[in-house]
Chains A and B, each alone.
Chain A
Amino acid sequence: MPILQKKNPVDFSFSLITALASFTVVLLIGGILAVLVRESSLSIQKFGIIKFLVSTDWNPVTESFGAATTVYGTFVTTVIALVIAIPAALGIAIFITEISPNFLKGPIGIAIELLAAIPSIIYGMWGLFTLAPIMAKYVEPALQKSIGKLPVAGMLFQGTPMGIDLLTASVILSIMIIPFTASISRDAFNLTPAVVKESAYAIGATKWEVVKNVVIPYSKLGVFGGIALSLGRALGETMAVAFVLGNKHEIATSLLDAAATITVTLANEFTEADTDMYLSSLFYLALVLFVLSFIVLAIAKFFLLKAERKYSR
């Protein structure tokens, strides 16, 4: 079937219109990249690439800008969120596919997907009004009393527990990405052929041994894809963390310090940028975020496609 139908004029126009519509996606991705590069050119020329990425300056008054503090904040919140989310998500996926009775599978799956559908601003507001006070009053003092007493790990929990900090933001972020990871892992687990599992049971494996030695190795590509996808989401999440991070441009050594991520800086400062260099530097941050998340998402897609190809064979 030829892509553009030349025989019938109506068919030709219709195929052309649909072709144009689908090319908007390519145009949009190219357009975002081009526009962000153009808008940030002022800042790129002044600060370069390496210098911008390693500089911890963020001073609108002296017009000296660097991305290190925000990239650091993005990195730390994402990593902690993944550390909390991955075990929980895998547990959920194992529960749904292997443990739960059949009548519970559907409802729990739907509940997890609803968690994914809640708008991020709701997470953010809930974090500010409900989670942050709980963190400040109970969780953080408890952490300081236990882990905070240890010699090296204690460094992470110094300072006054305010609830508006890296830890609270990471917890909210982890709640947001659990559903993504869980539902993709569940789908991957479900693809393990019953025969393979049954043969493991037949030689006397326990349920956990089947999960550990058969299901997880079989579906690891899909699980990696799910984790990478959540990583991409976490990098670009704005509203869930904007409320509880404090937007402070410093390299925080303690998890109880306020910090800034790329997204939070954009949300808070974009409409306030009063000089061309300031605005251009914010566009530069957006460019860094776009490139970073595009790469992560492309890797995620690569894993998922590989998994798809493996299972369809």
Chain B
Amino acid sequence: MNIEKRRKLESFIALLLSTLAAVFGLLWLVFILGDVLVHGIGALKLSLFLNDPTPPGVTGGGLRNAFVGQLLITVFATLIGVPVGVLGGTFLAEYARGTKIARIISILSDIMVSVPSIVIGTFIYAILVKPVGHFNGWAGAVALAVIMIPVVLRTTEDMLSLVPWTLREAAFALGSPYYKVIIQVVYRGAATGILTGILLSIARVAGETAPLLFTSFNNAFFSVDMKGPISSLTVSIFQYAMGPYDEWHMQAWAASFVITVFVLLLTILGRLIIKWRYR
């Protein structure tokens, strides 16, 4: 075989392998999503949303407590995490733009985004559960907020940086102070971007389990009391999937289906908004 043919063959084989790798990657997506879909839809019942858990063996139980608990924890996490994240991002992109401090905080946030979430769980346990003496919903909300802050902060910083500097200068020229420029001009220009960042960060924390294991813990009963242990979908999935009962497994699949659909829809929505707004 001459050298040209060999080079062509080599190229063909390498490209074929890359294509196979792409198929391999997509196959898992189809496999996992398909599995969750098939098992999840099969197990989806109205009673899942309307009833509270029943003792093992008694049919007709649901996860109403977990849905409500998850909602409470996520909403409070968003209420704590988003303002801190947005304001922090504002500082980095506006008042501290181009300074060394902004650069360092920005890098630290990037690292913080990937810090193991279970470590954050242990940290919150030490400061919010141990002193109180019992697991509580607030600790869970704060743990998720801690995960949210760096995500929102970084997207806000990026989105504010995309607003052209001349726009600010135009507002300065009219004599407005910087805070008015930020709130009335810059935020307005970056609103869609910031909102997308918030959506994606909610998608990120809605599926978190590890930081809730030792903060909000779990609760077999319906509870909206954030001062006590509160149930969440993800922790319930963990408990039910590890449990011995088929009924529990079915409910775990159904809950997984709901949470996967929620997270993926938020993610797709976020991507669509970015695409529609910035390209």
Q: Scoring A residues 15 to 55 as 1 if CB is less than 8 Å from chain B, else 0, what string do you get? A: 10111011111101101100110110000000000000000
Which residue of the partner chain A has the closest CB to B267? A117
- Does B110 interact with chain A (Cβ within 8 Å)? yes
- Does A198 interact with chain B (Cβ within 8 Å)? no
Select B241's contact among A94, A115, A128, beta carbons within 8 Å. A128
Which residue of the partner chain B has the closest CB to A230? B114
B177 surroundings in chain A (CB, below 8 A): 5, 7-8, 10-11
Say whether B20 contacts A91, CB under 8 Å.
yes
Given contacts A117-B203, A297-B111, contact A15 B22 (CB under 8 A): no
Main secondary structure of the interface of B (DSSP, over half): helix
Say whether B206 contacts A119, CB under 8 Å.
yes
Given contacts A119-B260, A208-B10, A233-B114, contact A263 B210 (CB under 8 A): yes
Given A5-B179, A11-B178; 18 other pairs, CB 8 A cutoff:
A14-B178, A14-B179, A21-B85, A21-B91, A25-B150, A35-B127, A88-B25, A118-B32, A119-B209, A121-B209, A125-B241, A209-B7, A238-B116, A239-B209, A243-B241, A263-B210, A267-B118, A270-B125
**Distance (whole angstroms) from the CB of B72 to the closest CB of chain A:** 18
- Does A245 interact with chain B (Cβ within 8 Å)? no
Say whether A271 contacts B26, CB under 8 Å.
no
B residues adjacent to A (C-beta < 8 A): 7-8, 10-11, 14-15, 17-22, 24-26, 28-29, 31-33, 35-36, 39, 83-92, 94-97, 99, 101-102, 105, 107-112, 114-123, 125-127, 146, 149-150, 153, 177-179, 182, 203-204, 206-210, 213-214, 217, 234, 237-238, 241-242, 249, 252-253, 256, 259-260, 263-264, 267-268, 271
A residues adjacent to B (C-beta < 8 A): 1, 3-5, 7-8, 10-11, 14-15, 17-19, 21-26, 28-29, 31-32, 35-36, 38-39, 87-92, 94-96, 98-100, 108, 110-115, 117-126, 128-130, 175, 178-179, 182, 206-209, 211-212, 229, 232-233, 235-239, 242-243, 263, 266-267, 270-271, 282-283, 286, 289-290, 293-294, 297-298, 301, 305
CA distance A92 to B111 in the complex (A): 25
Given contacts A39-B126, A208-B15, contact A289 B209 (CB under 8 A): no
CA distance A8 to B86 in the complex (A): 22
Say whether A126 contacts B36, CB under 8 Å.
yes
B114 surroundings in chain A (CB, below 8 A): 229, 232-233, 236, 293, 297
Query: Would you list the 6 A-B pairs with minimal beta carbon distance, nearest first?
Result: A91-B21, A119-B207, A236-B116, A22-B88, A18-B91, A21-B87
Question: Can you list 30 A-B contacts (CB < 8 A)?
Answer: A5-B178, A15-B179, A18-B94, A28-B112, A29-B111, A29-B112, A88-B24, A91-B25, A92-B22, A94-B21, A99-B18, A112-B25, A112-B26, A115-B28, A117-B264, A118-B263, A119-B259, A124-B238, A125-B253, A182-B25, A207-B15, A209-B7, A232-B114, A236-B115, A243-B241, A263-B118, A289-B116, A290-B115, A297-B115, A301-B110
**Distance (whole angstroms) from the CB of B171 to the closest CB of chain A:** 13
Say whether B88 contacts A236, CB under 8 Å.
no
B208 surroundings in chain A (CB, below 8 A): 119
Interface-centre pick from A29, A208, A266 (highest chain B CB count, 10 A): A208
Given contacts A29-B108, A87-B21, A92-B21, contact A17 B87 (CB under 8 A): yes
Which residue of the partner chain B has the closest CB to A232? B114
**Distance (whole angstroms) from the CB of A29 to the closest CB of chain B:** 6
Interface-centre pick from A31, A206, A229 (highest chain B CB count, 10 A): A206
CA distance A80 to B15 in the complex (A): 24
Say whether A286 contacts B96, CB under 8 Å.
no
Which residue of the partner chain A has the closest CB to B146? A28
A21 surroundings in chain B (CB, below 8 A): 83-88, 90-91, 153
Say whether B241 contacts A286, CB under 8 Å.
no
CA distance A100 to B19 in the complex (A): 8
Say whether A121 contacts B20, CB under 8 Å.
no
Select B92's contact among A22, A31, A113, A239, beta carbons within 8 Å. A22
Which residue of the partner chain B has the closest CB to A91? B21
Say whether A121 contacts B116, CB under 8 Å.
no
Say whether A121 contacts B95, CB under 8 Å.
no
